[in-house]
A and B are shown apart, each in its own frame.
Chain A
């Protein structure tokens, strides 16, 4: 087919659509698949996102997706499935993660402090939601029938 001019495009065609990378993946909710998705995500955005924002994005998504991997599916039978979508916006990298696991406990979304630092018995966990909350804005959660939907933005510049 030979390209032709659109007959009704008019004198002032609409502005160019912005073409920029986005990322969508349906993956099995297990640590190996999470690692692969994060590696591919880095490959997709690395050339257009600065190293600091890329590092914060990867950390937040690792924390969210590892939580999904831990709490979805039927243990010992089959892992759950999750969907990940990341798009670039003027304010940062907007992310949505949905999965068919159990409902997110409301505590996860309440403001979090670091786990108590007992020098004689340092905490080995409890950092995940603290990191997610501290590195994102517009964090929101919705339960739709049997699905968890979590969305947030990782800003271009870190919070001071």
Chain B
């Protein structure tokens, strides 16, 4: 599980260096992320630009992570790729997270 954590005074940044958040790693991902956000008690920014696939078990893991962070702290998802953004949008879970899509690649 490749998660790169960088903690500053004001926030916790987590770069997800996995290309897929799927059923094969969802439980490990959830447990590890809950541990990371649980000890920080500050806003969390997740850099998602390397994740190019997520299924509903991955979405479930993300929701569990959101629930592990007190509601007063935002969970920002930065750099969502189209395949990942689609799952949040279709399930209306895009309203629960603060989402910043990846910039469209310049040809």
Contact = CB atoms under 8 A, between A and B. Distances in A.
A142 interface: no
Given A51-B82, A58-B53, A63-B55, A122 B23 contact: no
A56 B53 CA distance: 10
Given A55-B82, A114-B91, A122-B67, A62 B22 contact: yes
Contact of B91 (A58, A66, A69, A131): A131
Given A55-B82, A127-B59, A62 B23 contact: yes
A131 B92 contact: no
Contact of B24 (A34, A58, A127, A134): A34
A125 B60 contact: yes
Determine the main DSSP class of B at the interface with A: helix
B11 to A, nearest CB: 22
Interface string A118-151: 0001111101101100110000000000000000
Contacts of B53: 38, 55, 58-59, 62
Contacts of A130: 90-91
**A35, A51, A135 pick with most chain B CB within 10 angstroms:** A35
22 contacts: A35-B20, A35-B23, A51-B82, A55-B83, A59-B53, A59-B55, A59-B83, A62-B53, A62-B55, A63-B55, A69-B23, A122-B66, A122-B93, A124-B60, A124-B61, A124-B63, A127-B60, A127-B91, A130-B90, A130-B91, A131-B90, A135-B90
Interface of B: 20, 22-24, 53, 55-57, 59-61, 63-64, 66-67, 82-83, 86-87, 90-93, 96
Given A32-B24, A124-B61, 11 more contacts: A31-B24, A34-B22, A55-B53, A55-B86, A63-B55, A66-B23, A122-B93, A125-B56, A131-B56, A134-B90, A135-B90
